[in-house]
Amino acid sequence: MSRPVTLFTGQWADLPLEELAPKAKEMGFDGLELACWGDHFDVQRAITEPDYCESRWDILKRSDLKCFAVGNHLVGQAVCDAVIDQRHEGILPPYVWGDGEPEGVRQRAAEEMKDTARAAARLGVPVVTGFTGSAIWHVLAMFPPVPPEMIEAGYQDFADRWNPILDVFDEVGVKFALEVHPSEIAYDYWTTKRTLEAIDHREGFGINFDPSHLYWQMLDPVGFVHEFGDRIYHAHVKESIRVLDGRNGILGSHLLFGDHRRGWDFVSPGRGGVPFERVFRALNDVGYDGPLSIEWEDSGMNRIQGATEAVELVRRLDLVPSDVAFDAAFQQN
């Protein structure tokens, strides 16, 4: 049986869930990965109002949709970030932002992530996807010269802030899946290994695999799946494209998404360079049977057209593993 195809609702949070759910069904989706912003999934209502989670399921069931995960990327970003500024004010709930004092924001964000685990458990889903933030992302260029102990302190800061959050995840039986992504504590192959080491490979912390962020960094997403397959708790289908013409670079040049001068950009699945069939085969190899959640981002394409096309792409390329060896039929006895 092929994996369910879901839609991450983060880029659709301008639409009420009541409106989005039937649209998603019309586009061909099996379910939704509910974002914890807009009106799609409210963490505080989920843990304080007895009927709230049931109300979410009522909306989903009316459109014959399922839910396997919720995503709280925006709040998770503030847990470890060294620089807390107007970017965070623009994405955080007011009660998490508070007065904007950085350490207070980090601590309130951590408490909200604990509550997200509790809310997911009440909803009955096994995974929360999201970000962690990073105390050392701003030193990526390694200049001015970065002392090695500063890098070590960054991973220790991550462990110190996230281990108590993960304790709550463990208590309620929910797993956290970090989307390996630039600006997070893990953004490529080596930083993912270092991140897992920092928390002693505790089982409650895994990966929301998203090949788009690996592809634009010129990394192999297939090799990443084979290396970290036992830690992939959720998977996004998101696409990127590289346009490296001798002037455009992979750091983005401080240009907004959609600008033709960028060296890379997000595009609708199937319209970039991610080798999705090889990725899906690799997910089969490591035994991943969870949802394939389309995270649709493309500044130059209508999202209904793009998301509908993306569902069709996934259904065509997501192969059901064979239960026989093809050359077994050659044997005579």
Q: Taking Cα atoms as reference points, which of 211, 46, 199, 194 lies closest to residue 125?
A: 46
Question: pLDDT band at residue 321, thresholds of 50, 70 and 90?
Answer: confident
Residue ranges per domain, the chain?
5-330
Sole residue written with tokens 């659709």: 12
Q: What is the pLDDT of residues 252-270, one digit of tens each?
A: 999 999 999 999 999 999 9
Alpha-helical regions (H) of the chain? 17-27, 43-48, 52-62, 73-80, 86-91, 94-97, 102-123, 148-172, 189-198, 211-215, 221-228, 276-285, 303-317
Name the residue type at position 322. S
pLDDT digits (tens, 9 = 90+) for 156-192: 999 999 999 999 999 999 999 999 999 999 999 999 9
Radius of gyration over every alpha carbon of the chain, rounded to an integer in angstroms: 20
CATH class of 5-330: alpha beta
More confident residue, 326 or 99: 99
User: What is residue 328's predicted lDDT score, i.e. its pLDDT?
Assistant: 61
How confident is the model over 115-126, as a mean pLDDT?
98
Report the C-alpha gap between 302 and 272 in whole angstroms: 16
At 2 the pLDDT is 81
In what helix (H) or strand (E) does residue 237 lie, and over which residues does it extend?
strand 232-237
The predicted model gives 140-156 an average pLDDT of 97
| Residue 137 φ/ψ, nearest 5 degrees | -60, -35
pLDDT digits (tens, 9 = 90+) for 20-63: 999 999 999 999 999 999 999 999 999 999 999 999 999 999 99
Q: What is the pLDDT of residue 319?
A: 78
pLDDT by residue (tens digit) across 197-241?
Answer: 999 999 999 999 999 999 999 999 999 999 999 999 999 999 999
* pLDDT of amino acid 134: 98
Q: Considering only CA atoms, which of 293, 277, 153, 141 is closest in space to residue 221? A: 277
Query: DSSP secondary structure string, 52-121?
Result: HHHHHHHHHHHTT-B--EEE-HHHHHHHH-S---HHHHHHS-HHHHTT--HHHHHHHHHHHHHHHHHHHH
H/E stretch holding 6 reads strand 5-8
Tokens at 328, concatenated: 């077994």
The amino acid sitting at 304 is I
The CA-atom distances, in angstroms, between 64 and each of 71, 93, 116, 228 are 20, 30, 25, 33
- The stretch 290-306 carries a mean pLDDT of 97
Length of the chain: 333
Q: Which amino acid makes up residue 29?
A: F
Mean pLDDT of the residues in the chain: 96
pLDDT band at 1 (very low <50, low <70, confident <90, very high): very low
Please state, in angstroms and rounded to a whole number, the distance separating the CA atoms of residues 297 and 154.
Answer: 30
Beta bridge partners of 33: 8
H/E run at residue 199: none
> For 315-328, what is the mean pLDDT?
73
Give the distance from CA 86 to its chain's centroid.
23
Q: Check: CB of residue 39 under 8 Å from CB of residue 16.
A: yes
Residue 5 φ/ψ, nearest 5 degrees: -105, 120
Contacts of 252 (CB under 8 A, 6+ apart): 262, 263, 264
**CA–CA separation, 269 vs 241, rounded Å?**
10
